[in-house]
Structure 1
Amino acid sequence: RQGKTSFYMQHLGEEAVACAFRKALAPGDMNFPTYRQAGLLIADGYPMVTMMNQIYSNEADPLKGRQLPVMYSSKEHGFFSISGNLATQYIQAVGWAMASAISNDSRIAAAWIGDGSTAESDFHSALVFASTYKAPVVLNVVNNQWAISTFQGIARGGSGTLAARGLGFGIPSLRVDGNDYLAVHAVAKWAAERARSNLGPTLVEYVTYRAGAHSSSDDPSAYRPKTESDAWPLGDPIVRLKNHLIALGVWSDERHAQAEAEILDTVIAAQKEAESHGTLHAGGKPSTRDMFEGLYAEMPPHLRRQRQQAGV
């Protein structure tokens, strides 16, 4: 709203899915995510300042302004470059997992997709190859009830569970409460161990709810009832985990309030540091020269000419 970035995509209501799953993986495993799994990076200790630099497309942006906001990339943290063409990451994850198996590596892949994108042909192609070649991959389907502006029933979610689609390919499939952190972690750990033990793929459907808008450019009140989220039965995943820990006697409302305050301070400090490197329309920006770098081992003549014409 302040013009510091072009748009943003929230993860409200889906925090448990990505954060709990990441804790079940090992170093070197690779996620092929959508734009709503930032928790995979946060739970792995990826610097929040770096994430904000990418959102602002500033001079410290690790992707040099060449990617849309929130479409992060980090090989070191097992986070494959996000594609705006949804469902392509499913095939990529299966291919990466097949390559890992062929090279006798122990690393596994995790594919991520939303309920709406399961209607894409890439989804079904990935399942064919994963099943046929017993790829060491966890095929995640985040069913947050809504695609961009269409209910998951448009993708035939009402004809049966999305998890059931894996059964048709001979892939063991589960459906789990995606707002239960411990349940997500248990399922993720089981599926990851199956893949690492060369037992093949697992498909997991996480039933959750997109509490916010699709993106900052979206107004969900135009296509879903304003009171819908209040009636959603699964509840906020953070509140649920907090209440569970309090019931076990290992947490308290006071400690939770303190933690929230500390986290807020951390976020604000990270924001200030990132903004010191510039925002979308102010301050430092990546060099024009950067758009020509990192594409080829040896720059082809036509790009060399274009770089010269640009004066960089």
Structure 2
Amino acid sequence: MAGNTITKPSDLSCTPSRAARELGLKRGDFDLAVHLGRVRTVPDEEGGGRRVTHAEIDRLRSAAGFPDTLLESVRTVGTTEGAALMEVTSARFTRLARLGLVVPVKYYLNRYRAVVWLYLAEELRQFAADKNHTSLLNGRTPERLRDQLQEGLDLRPRNWRGRHLGFLLHQATDPWERAGALAALLDPVQVAEIVQDPYERAHLNRFRPDPPAHGAPGSAAAHLAERIMTADDPDEISWLRADLTQVLDEARCHRPAPRPTGELAVSRRTTEPTVPPPSLSKRRPEPMPELDPAPDAEQAPEPERSRGMLGWLRRRSA
């Protein structure tokens, strides 16, 4: 009888792959839509990852202009097409990106393992339409900024990490997951300095997400993806360390990390090294290969410094 039918949670939602098909999106575009909050997901109550409710699919399909508006909201472009959208040269576009004025939303590695940054077409059009940016698109760069560019300033990896961290924090459901998201952007040695207890560190690593997949594990492409994922600027490292320390205090209060009890715990504590390895905060990685042309000159403000990574993310979402 219909009155005795039991509705399981899985009957009310579907997998990301099926949701992408229902919405007419390629899987990469669907993942970006989730990342940007265009498509809302829910945890799988049976522990199988995140899912999309049928109600959410119906909401999106009933929106005006579907599917074109949804497709356009996640359309990404590279340097050449982005420059054409903003009606500037590719060289000028690259300088704006290196100064942190336009922010990449994702990247891929080409056959030569060069980093190709991608930007939201929607954001580039909005930037170009803002009259406050006229001088950035047509003027000259102050000498101090030209010097920074010549010295190698490139905020694209850092700004991508900021966006990616915002996505990870948005998906986190408890303090340990938020701590894992912050730890994902730090070198393991930095994490070991902050989390000296081996059981806490092992528990934290359970919640530390991997970088976006690029190449087979252990490949040169995978190693490059790890470098892009890892903070390398001293200010950025300092903010992440401070935020991780704060969130870890919350996580400990929320749920202490599990650890062995009795003699086994005593034995392991006495054999575990207590001195962390030296800090890598001042070590800078080798420069990453990239395809964008060399900079010349235009007018741009000096990139604004933030007081903390979490605070920076809150201001971007405000």
Report the TM-score when normalising by structure 1: 0.28
Higher relative helix content: 2
Could you say which structure has the greater relative contact order, defined with CA pairs below 8 angstroms and 6 or more residues apart? 1
The TM-score with structure 2 as length reference comes to: 0.28
Between structure 1 and structure 2, the one with the greater Rg is: 2
